[in-house]
Amino acid sequence: MNRSVDKDLSFSVLEDAQEQVKALQLELAQVREELAQAKAQAVSGDAFPASLSSAKPKGPFGVELELLGKQVLEKNATPGSTLEEIVSLYLAGIEKLHPKMRCVCMRLQERHLYVVAAPNFPENFIEAIDGIEIGQTVGTCGAAADQQEKVICTDIARDPRWQDLRVKALANGFRASWAFPLIGSGGKMLGTLGIYYDEPKAPAPEEEASLESVSALLQLVLENKLAEIELRQSNERYYYATIATNDAIWDFDIEAKKIKWGIGYERLFGYKVQEYGGEFDMWAAQVHPDDLGRVSGSLDKMLQYGTKGGHWREEYRFRKANGEYAWVIDQGYLIRDENQKPVRVVGAIQDITAQKQAEEEVRMLSVVARETINGVMILNPDLTIQWVNDAFTRLMGYTLEEVQGKIPSTFMNGPETDPEMEECMRGRLEKLESTECEIIQYSKSGEKHWIRLQMQPLLDSNGRLERYFAMSTHINRQKEEELKLKLQESVIANAQDAIIISKANPEKPWQLEALFFNKAFTQLTGYEKEEVLGGNMSFIVGPNTSSETP
């Protein structure tokens, strides 16, 4: 039998899911690295990056700003502190140092800016700028994010970059606005720092220097917290991906020879991950002894020499916690470091026990079917042919290769096939009921055949349809005999002479029991069917009947 279609489909689905998990794990590693870099900068002990040390404000104001920066870094290092809380603390402190200044920090997401914090902004203005698409006519923050450069607007009433939001800004008392882009260590645009005044104004050199320092620290905080958020989201995506695949996801550390198992491991095999441990030898001990040599050998070969695309796949038996063996497909992808040295293998185990059992059932059915003289078809749930026996080929002329994947009615029905009978059968099969009918079908040569078709749905242990078993019996001779009998009955029934058919009573041989009579008998005697059939024929004997009549 050819089962490659079913297998290819299941393998394709599994490979897609595993590719997704592999991508997510690579994403997790990248995000963790970015987070580590951001944290290293944030806890370096200096409130401002070394690259901006020359721009640090001097004197008492500079000291106050430095102290505020350290408070912000401490808040940033406090577990549970949110991005909004940290930035609000910082901006509120800046506004205390610059009483006429109003600050806003915005985060960039897919060319849209969203307010992170604006401690003293009017609510209606926050609503107006939250979610704006960056560009050159939506204010200084939108322009700074668009061109990734500092933007100084000394007079909102006259600046073309405020074209779309000018009325709203002026209505809230804003007259000047400066914006500083927040660009991450990798050159990624993170957001903006916006500064607003209630009078037309250009920044003084010391103001600009302090705001450059503020924006640098905001960049560190924003990068740090966004990396944490992205890591959490990546972890969530990875978690839900492992659930969605319904497989046991694993991550093998080659150097440590340890395996990290996903939550599907316990669900599929019954082992509690915390108790089972991650030792490579623990996994190997559960592989069936007859399969272990082949499986471990192919894995070692992949780790030593690599394979095309770094892909490893094996099918084997794996012992579950209850002692039973499950058939599994195990697939992994080799991950290398920057020097192309293999460091990890990420993969997934899929339980295919049910598939194996179904294949065995089909094999056993086919063994039985090969021995019968009747034509046998095994059909998929969509009524396409999965397998036919040799008797089917002899009867209908079609080989397995010619009919596999086709619906029988599409090539065996013909002019005299009863469509109502076929529809009735289909209806019963949809209800998962067995059915039997006599129907005309046509062989490959075009020859008409009377077929007694018997079909039985085969269900799994959960009552779900797995396939249909159909048996075709050739009944041409039976139908020919039935036709002859009908013709004889027609001749007798329409004869001009009165005819009655009777049989002798075994207990009273001298009595005859009426079985059949034709119309001519009724016309001659006046007796109706109900009066005659099954009765004693003596009713037709009268006083004038000759005793010599046989």
Q: What is the 3-state secondary structure (H, E, C) of 42-75?
A: HCCCCCCCHHHHHHCCCHHHHHHHHHHHHHHHHH
pLDDT exceeds 60 at position 29: no
Residue type, 509: P
- pLDDT above 90: percentage of residues in the chain: 33
* DSSP one-letter code for 134: P
Q: 237: which residues sit within 8 A by CB, 6+ positions away?
A: 24, 27
**CATH architecture of the region 362-480:** 2-Layer Sandwich (3.30)
pLDDT band (50, 70, 90) for residue 308: low
User: Alpha-carbon distance 541 to 543, whole Å?
Assistant: 7
pLDDT band (50, 70, 90) for residue 208: confident
User: Alpha-carbon distance 297 to 450, whole Å?
Assistant: 57
Length of the chain in terms of residues written: 550
Mean pLDDT of the chain: 80
pLDDT exceeds 80 at position 49: no
CATH 3.30.450.20 placement within the chain: 247-351, 362-480
Nearest to 285 by CA among 254, 326, 318, 244: 318
The larger pLDDT score, comparing residue 164 to residue 503, is at: 164
**Residue 271 · residue 262 · CB < 8 Å:** no
Indicate the angle between helix axes 205-245 and 4-42, nearest 10 degrees: 150
SS3 category, 412: helix
Say what the pLDDT of residue 210 is.
Answer: 83
pLDDT exceeds 70 at position 58: no
Sign of the four-CA dihedral 28, 30, 36, 38: negative
User: Alpha-carbon distance 288 to 81, whole Å?
Assistant: 50
pTM above 0.75, yes or no: no
pLDDT exceeds 70 at position 156: yes
Residue 163: what are its φ and ψ, rounded to 5°? -55, -45
Say what the pLDDT of residue 414 is.
Answer: 92
User: Alpha-carbon distance 514 to 537, whole Å?
Assistant: 6
SS3 category, 20: helix
> Among 151-155, 342-346, 525-529, whose mean pLDDT is lowest?
525-529
Average pLDDT over residues 377-400: 91
The larger pLDDT score, comparing residue 275 to residue 425, is at: 425
Q: 537: which residues sit within 8 A by CB, 6+ positions away?
A: 500, 502, 511, 512, 513, 514
Nearest to 397 by CA among 347, 340, 447, 346: 447
pLDDT exceeds 90 at position 247: no
- pLDDT above 70: percentage of residues in the chain: 73
CATH code of domain 24-234 = 3.30.450.40
Say what the pLDDT of residue 360 is.
Answer: 75
pLDDT exceeds 80 at position 368: no
CATH 3.30.450.40 placement within the chain: 24-234
477 burial class (0-12, 13-18, 19+ CB within 10 angstroms)? exposed
SS3 category, 326: strand
**Residue 468 · residue 378 · CB < 8 Å:** yes
pLDDT exceeds 70 at position 243: no
The CATH H-level superfamily of 247-351 is PAS domain (3.30.450.20)
User: Alpha-carbon distance 461 to 382, whole Å?
Assistant: 19
Nearest to 356 by CA among 324, 388, 329: 329
Give the side-chain half-sphere CA count within 13 A for 123.
0
pLDDT band (50, 70, 90) for residue 7: very low
* DSSP one-letter code for 277: -
User: Alpha-carbon distance 292 to 289, whole Å?
Assistant: 5
pLDDT exceeds 50 at position 81: yes
Average pLDDT over residues 166-185: 93
SS3 category, 102: strand
Give the side-chain half-sphere CA count within 13 A for 193.
26
